[in-house]
Amino acid sequence: MLDAKNDHYPVHYINPTVDLTKIKHVAFDMDGTIYKGGTLFEFTPGVFETLEKLGIGYTYLTNNSSKSAKDYLKKILSLNLKATPDNVSTSATATYFFLRKNYPNVKKVYVLGTASLREEFAEQGYTLIDEYNEKDEPDLVVVAFDTTLTYDRLCKATYWIGKGKPYIATHPDTVCPTDQETILVDCGAVQALIENVTGRKPEAVPGKPDPATIGGVMDKYGLERDEILMVGDRIYTDLEMARRAKIPGVLVLTGEATLETLKEAGWTPELVLDDISVLADLLVEAKTKKK
């Protein structure tokens, strides 16, 4: 129902059952939502200032596993946005929480990912196998978004997966948004390659749209389903996760999704907005009316 009538031009749809006066927390996708590539949207700082004035908490929640959570914290701070280690979460964060719960005996892993991501897994207590020792076998393979991907490492990961080692992928995104004139091939595309070679899909993909990702945020802050919003630019990850978790989803049109691709999806999130500044205005309006 994208033709729903409203008084806000940049608002394309609002489900009338959503009560914005109840919102206590907002989970934001990052790339394509608060910035694109290396460029911060000009309205983003004002949005977070508004949330703080309203007493609404927020979490940075990204599927991009090319950087560690510590690297993302540094990036967010470098953009002059407020952040703490407690409110930054990536698909890698979701992955090692998943591993602890479902593969508690796994100690040695092969991580097809960047150096910072491999370091993060080591900090979480996992042993990374010696790639130059052919006798050193992993218990499990993790495939992530590797912006330093080499042919040799791709072949090695595919070899172990083909040998039957358990295989977890951090997230399903096939392309990463960018403000550069290129295409950033993401984790989902690498999964497709591996499946084509080995015939195997990953045992699990813990990042978005798995509802456990947002469930962790809800548990941390003691939130009910109608007290949190998931905001993102991707229908099949950000908004699909919101739908599976049965929380309100907010689609913004500053990244991958367009109104055309939304129509093709066959379903509509609770809110469809031009950008996150519109959400801030709507929250202010809702909180003002509540008073």
Q: List, as one string, the DSSP characters of 57-107.
A: EEEEEE---SS-HHHHHHHHHHTT----GGGEEEHHHHHHHHHHHH-TT--
Give the C-alpha separation, 48 to 35, whole Å: 13
- The H or E element spanning position 128 is strand 127-128
CB atoms within 10 A of CB 291: 5
Region of poorest pLDDT, from 17-26, 170-179, 267-276 = 170-179
* pLDDT score of 13 more than 90: yes
Scanning the structure block, which residue is given the tokens 């977890």? 168
- 116-133 confidence digits (pLDDT tens): 999 999 999 999 998 777
CB-neighbour burial class of residue 281 (10 A; exposed 0-12, middle 13-18, buried 19+):
middle
- 192-229 confidence digits (pLDDT tens): 999 999 999 999 999 999 998 898 899 889 999 999 99
Higher pLDDT, 65 or 9: 65
Q: Where are the alpha helices (DSSP H) in 181-239?
A: 187-198, 212-221
- The H or E element spanning position 289 is helix 276-290
Cross-strand pairs, 255: none
Question: Domains in the chain and their CATH numbers?
Answer: 11-63+208-290 (3.40.50.1000), 93-198 (3.40.50.1000)
Q: Judge whether 128 and 96 are in contact, CB under 8 Å.
A: no
**The overall pTM is greater than 0.85:** no
- 232-249 confidence digits (pLDDT tens): 999 999 999 999 999 999
Q: Judge whether 104 and 226 are in contact, CB under 8 Å.
A: no
Q: Which amino acid is at 9?
A: Y
Q: How, if at all, do strands 88-90 and 127-128 pair?
A: unpaired
Residues 6+ apart with CB under 8 A from 222: none
